[in-house]
Amino acid sequence: MRIAIFGSGYVGLVTGACLADVGHDVICVDVDADKITRLNNGKVPIHEPGLETLIHHNLKTGRLRFTTDAARAVNFGLLQFIAVGTPPDEDGSADLHHVLEVARTIGMHMQDYKIVVNKSTVPVGTAEKVQYAIAETLSARGVEQDFDVCSNPEFLKEGAAIDDFSKGARIVVGTDSERARQAMQECYAPYSRLQNKLIFMDIRSAELTKYAANAMLATKISFINEIAHLAERLGADIEQIRHGIGSDPRIGYHFIYPGCGYGGSCFPKDVQALTRTSRDLGHESHLLKAVETINQRQKGQLFHKLSQAFDHDLRGKNIALWGLAFKPNTDDMREAPSRTLMEALWAAGARVQAYDPEASEECRRLYGQRDDLTLSRRRDEALEGADALVICTEWKEFRAVDFEALRQTLYHPVLVDGRNLFDPDTVKAAGLRYYAIGRGDSLHAATVI
Ligand code: UDX
């Protein structure tokens, strides 16, 4: 099949590379000429395991190409995927500017029947807006042309996107057209493992499914963090509780890891957008608002614990920070808990010595050169001259730590662990004060100075 994909960001690139890899002919379009030149030279602007190899291979096979030429792309493929960004507006609703711009571009160049497939995360009713924008553009051209619009939301996790694309839990397609249904079936036919996972439904339900999935997952995280909050104050251990509840198959072990809050490009944005949609319909979603509020509080926990450990005076302290990315295996720092922590530390007059295996460059891009930020190349380098260590991201390389050596390196024996990576008794036996999430006495451990 010949497929065009508008938007060469995260979703567009993964979709394009994966579809080309199974034999489809794919053209990816973007308005950013520099990005397209770099992509045609094999330079991939995002860090996603396996993506670069896939792009290089399929550039070579000729099944994947990148262009800024929208007219060429529209006339290239039967399927026209829209995979551009929908950043939140100031009020939390999704900004459809780019999506509708692509719709008008498709309408501008369309010569024959097309199926426009929306992959961007968009509010319910957007497919109708896309339909209208295309129809309006066609009519301004004086052209009568049949086309279909369908919704095919993505459920990719950063760091596992390639696997998710080819072996995900399901593919949701919202359409009211038999022709579009058959074309989508053909598009995903090479993924034999997904054949019985194709779920067809009406367009509005498909659009809402995406938000419902992310809101449900975010709710699970805020729920466990809320119980962690209680456990901490009651002298209970959230890790034991997690095992205790996860063993019930109705609850399950997935996505109930307590931590320093969810981040990334999806959960915060989608929960806010759904809250806003709900409000627009005259219904205040107390549940979604609570999910968001708990997450904000959770992101502030690391600073709170650190501040408490230093008797609420962090002026002049050097804080070692391991993990800047919002989760492992990505360099993405959007809405990352590390940012909330760093900004609070700077406001309190502390300095940060950070290490992340992938996100240093992104951190520099976000915060620039500043005296109170050092980016280290190794995890141990970040500890040199540090007063305390905080862990924000559960990168694999943070899991094995020589606690004796750590205690000797730090000026104060304070370890704040936002991901509950260690056994509290082992850490404490080495003479460190261990402040984890929801683990009994970790909140009330005495201050160290
Ligand atoms: C998420 C969804 O999983 C994906 O289906 C959707 O398409 C996009 O949003 P992603 O943002 O890449 O994917 O990250 P994910 O791995 O889901 O983690 C999101 C956040 O939740 C991270 O900050 C992570 O640390 C946090 N998290 C996750 C927890 O705090 N506890 C958990 O148990 C699971």
Residue 303 confidence (pLDDT) = 98
Average pLDDT over residues 274-280: 93
> Shortest CA distance to 161 belongs to which of 50, 326, 29?
50
Whether pLDDT at 444 is above 70: no
Do the domains 208-449 and 2-201 match in fold? Answer: yes
Question: How remote is the CA of residue 156 from the centroid of ligand 1, in Å?
Answer: 10
Q: 155, 157, 163, 294: which to mutate for ligand 1, most atoms within 8 A of CB?
A: 157
Residue 439 confidence (pLDDT) = 95
In this structure, the residue with its CA closest to atom 15 of ligand 1 is 157
Average pLDDT over residues 23-42: 96
3-state percent helix, strand, coil for the chain, nearest multiple of 5: 45, 15, 40
Residue 196 confidence (pLDDT) = 81
The amino acid sitting at 116 is: V
Query: Residue with structure tokens 């553009």?
Result: 137
Average model confidence (pLDDT) across the chain:
94
pLDDT one-digit tens code per residue, 256-265? 999 999 999 8
Cβ–Cβ < 8 Å for 80, 43: no
Average pLDDT over residues 413-436: 97
Residue 46 confidence (pLDDT) = 87
Is any atom of ligand 1 closer than 6 Å to the C-beta of 115? no
Average pLDDT over residues 204-222: 97
CATH topology (fold) of 2-201: Rossmann fold (3.40.50)
Residue 447 confidence (pLDDT) = 43
Is any atom of ligand 1 closer than 6 Å to the C-beta of 259? yes
Share of the chain above pLDDT 70, in %: 98
Please tell me whether residue 247 adopts helix, strand or coil conformation: coil
Share of the chain above pLDDT 90, in %: 90
CATH topology (fold) of 208-449: Rossmann fold (3.40.50)
In this structure, the residue with its CA closest to atom 10 of ligand 1 is 157
Question: How remote is the CA of residue 327 from the centroid of ligand 1, in Å?
Answer: 8
Residue 193 confidence (pLDDT) = 72
pTM: 0.92
Is residue 266 flagged as an active site residue?
yes
Cβ–Cβ < 8 Å for 74, 147: no
- Using 50, 70 and 90 to split pLDDT, how confident is the model at 19? very high
Question: How remote is the CA of residue 340 from the centroid of ligand 1, in Å?
Answer: 18
**Distances 396 to 119, 264, 400, 401 between C-alpha atoms, Å:** 31, 19, 8, 11
Q: Which residues pair with 25 in a beta bridge?
A: 2
Domains in the chain: boundaries: 2-201, 208-449
Question: How remote is the CA of residue 389 from the centroid of ligand 1, in Å?
Answer: 24
Average pLDDT over residues 155-178: 93
In 282-402, alpha helices (H): 286-299, 301-309, 337-347, 360-367
> Shortest CA distance to 7 belongs to which of 122, 133, 179, 92?
122
Residue 441 confidence (pLDDT) = 61
Residues 326 and 47: their CA atoms lie apart, in Å, by 13
Whether pLDDT at 87 is above 80: yes
Residue 349 confidence (pLDDT) = 98
Is any atom of ligand 1 closer than 6 Å to the C-beta of 288? no
The interface pTM score, or ipTM, of the predicted complex is: 0.94
Point out the catalytic residue in the list 18, 260, 266, 363. Answer: 266
Could you give the count of Cα atoms lying within 13 Å of 347 in the half-sphere of its Cβ?
9
Residues 398 and 172: their CA atoms lie apart, in Å, by 37
